[in-house]
């Protein structure tokens, strides 16, 4: 099969073609696994973190990609949940032990044996992949393959982030950063919490305009103060300045939820601006979001099919994965990038 393969860690700044088009043997499903012929795979900021070594794959070479949509074309022994031809999605959570304390509580995203799709095992920048059948999800018919792909990461983790804010209808929410996850969260909030106002902090004026278009009541720069103090804020940026500035925008007892697998060190000195009375005093708290549990993927897919929310998508061919990654790193085009694989 054709795959776009990461063979060594590198910096996108110096190397704009980190992935190499490679012919690999077709994967064979093991016991309990299904074989999926991939039709679409979303491109995520986490791929940049993997390529640049902030969350490095434990083994190289590896096939990246964890927002995978395709059709079942085979099954290993004992795998019977799906039939040939069924459409399935695969998310960041590839597997977990299924019997530790965290797994028992439904938080398998925290499992010590958590394995990530497209980092710890081969993912979706390819024509085929295998996955344990317990970690594949039926895709609601209302979405095309390409539309469904970005829902599996940006959407599912946005769903988990929103859950962790503990927001109630009528309480005001801030979003700092307004990319793929931010715009899905805004649409979700408008549906689930119709009386909550959403305030968006974004560096780019185009993102701010997009936020207002989607129903935010206010949009300003990262360092601006919103007209109200906010009950909770979700940060989806890769850097530190938005964390510090968001804390200043929180109401007493407010909670900042950081949805980022890793932060870059480029502006780490910004943390020295942290002023206890301005940013932390009055029982403000910070919570990170780690991975996704299966209930987040399922819950989100169900919710977006009901609303329905369709993400804005920009398509690339499999062979154009490098270009998609470079654009993700540098450009300001709105919406989610998806590889369309024939
Ligand atoms: Zn992702
Ligand atoms: Zn576990």
Distance 296 CA to ligand 1 centre (A): 13
Q: Which two tokens stand for residue 248?
A: 């200043």
C-alpha–C-alpha distance, residues 210 and 262, integer Å: 26
Distance 44 CA to ligand 1 centre (A): 4
C-alpha–C-alpha distance, residues 109 and 316, integer Å: 30
Q: Which two tokens stand for residue 147?
A: 């539309």
Distance 227 CA to ligand 1 centre (A): 32
pLDDT at 22: 98
Summarised one tens digit per residue, pLDDT across range 199-251 is 999 999 989 999 999 999 999 999 999 999 999 999 999 899 999 999 999 99
pLDDT at 181: 81
Residues 168-183, mean pLDDT to the nearest whole number: 92
Distance 130 CA to ligand 2 centre (A): 20
Distance 228 CA to ligand 2 centre (A): 41
Ligand nearest to the CA of 102: 2
Ligand nearest to the CA of 107: 2
- pLDDT for residue 113 is more than 70: yes
Summarised one tens digit per residue, pLDDT across range 122-137 is 999 999 999 999 999 9
- pLDDT for residue 333 is more than 70: no
pLDDT band at 334 (very low <50, low <70, confident <90, very high): low
CA distances from 142 to 151, 182, 340 (A): 13, 22, 18
pTM for the model stands at 0.90
In this prediction, what percent of the chain has a pLDDT beyond 70?
A: 99
CA angle (269 as vertex; 218, 253 as ends), nearest 5: 45
Distance 104 CA to ligand 2 centre (A): 7
Ligand nearest to the CA of 41: 1
Distance 291 CA to ligand 1 centre (A): 9
Contacts (Cβ under 8 Å, ≥6 apart) of 179: 45, 154, 207, 236
Distance 144 CA to ligand 2 centre (A): 32
Distance 278 CA to ligand 1 centre (A): 32
Q: Which two tokens stand for residue 204?
A: 């780019």
Distance 281 CA to ligand 1 centre (A): 33
pLDDT at 261: 84
Distance 154 CA to ligand 1 centre (A): 6
Distance 151 CA to ligand 1 centre (A): 10
pLDDT at 102: 97
In this prediction, what percent of the chain has a pLDDT beyond 90?
A: 89
Distance 283 CA to ligand 1 centre (A): 31
pLDDT at 330: 84
pLDDT at 220: 98
- pLDDT for residue 335 is more than 80: no
Distance 42 CA to ligand 1 centre (A): 8
Residues 256-280, mean pLDDT to the nearest whole number: 94
Residues 69-75, mean pLDDT to the nearest whole number: 98
Distance 47 CA to ligand 1 centre (A): 7
Ligand nearest to the CA of 181: 1
Residues 294-303, mean pLDDT to the nearest whole number: 95
Q: What are phi and psi of 120, to 5 degrees?
A: -85, -20
Report helix, strand or coil for 207.
Answer: helix
Distance 134 CA to ligand 2 centre (A): 14
pLDDT at 215: 95
pLDDT band at 179 (very low <50, low <70, confident <90, very high): confident
pLDDT at 332: 59
Beta-strand pair 198-201/218-220: parallel
Q: What is the mean pLDDT of the chain?
A: 95
Distance 252 CA to ligand 1 centre (A): 31
CA distances from 38 to 3, 86, 125, 335 (A): 11, 12, 9, 21
Residue spans of beta strands (DSSP E) within 93-155: 93-95, 115-116, 128-132, 137-138
Ligand nearest to the CA of 160: 1
């Amino acid at each position: 099969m054709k795959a776009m393969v990461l063979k060594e860690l590198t910096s996108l700044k110096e190397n704009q073609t980190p992935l190499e088009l490679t012919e690999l043997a077709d994967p064979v499903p093991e016991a309990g696994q299904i074989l999926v012929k991939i039709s679409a795979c979303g491109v995520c900021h986490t791929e940049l973190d993997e390529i640049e070594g902030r969350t490095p794959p434990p083994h190289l070479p590896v096939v990246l990609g964890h927002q995978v949509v395709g059709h079942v074309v085979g099954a290993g022994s004992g795998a019977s949940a799906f039939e040939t031809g069924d459409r399935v999605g695969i998310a960041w959570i590839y597997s977990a032990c299924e019997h530790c304390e965290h797994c028992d509580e439904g938080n398998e995203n925290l499992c010590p044996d958590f394995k990530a799709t497209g980092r710890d095992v081969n993912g979706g920048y390819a024509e085929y992949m295998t996955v344990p059948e317990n970690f594949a999800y039926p895709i609601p018919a209302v979405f095309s393959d390409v539309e469904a792909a970005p829902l599996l990461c940006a959407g599912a983790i946005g769903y988990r982030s929103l859950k962790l804010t503990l927001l109630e209808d009528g309480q005001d929410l801030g979003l700092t950063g307004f990319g793929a996850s931010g715009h899905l969260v805004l649409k979700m909030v408008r549906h689930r919490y119709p009386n909550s106002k959403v305030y968006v902090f974004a560096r780019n004026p185009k993102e701010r305009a997009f936020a207002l278009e989607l129903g935010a009541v206010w949009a300003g720069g990262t360092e601006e103060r919103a007209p109200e103090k906010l009950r909770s804020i979700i940060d989806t940026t890769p850097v530190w300045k938005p964390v510090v500035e968001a804390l200043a925008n929180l109401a007493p007892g407010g909670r900042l939820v950081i949805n980022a697998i890793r932060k870059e060190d480029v502006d780490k000195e910004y943390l020295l601006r942290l002023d206890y009375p301005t940013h932390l005093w009055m029982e403000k708290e910070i919570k990170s979001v780690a991975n996704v549990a299966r209930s987040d993927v399922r819950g989100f897919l169900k919710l977006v099919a009901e609303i329905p929310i369709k993400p804005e998508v920009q398509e690339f061919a499999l062979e154009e994965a490098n270009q998609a990654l470079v654009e993700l790193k540098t450009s300001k085009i709105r919406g989610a990038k998806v590889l369309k694989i024939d």
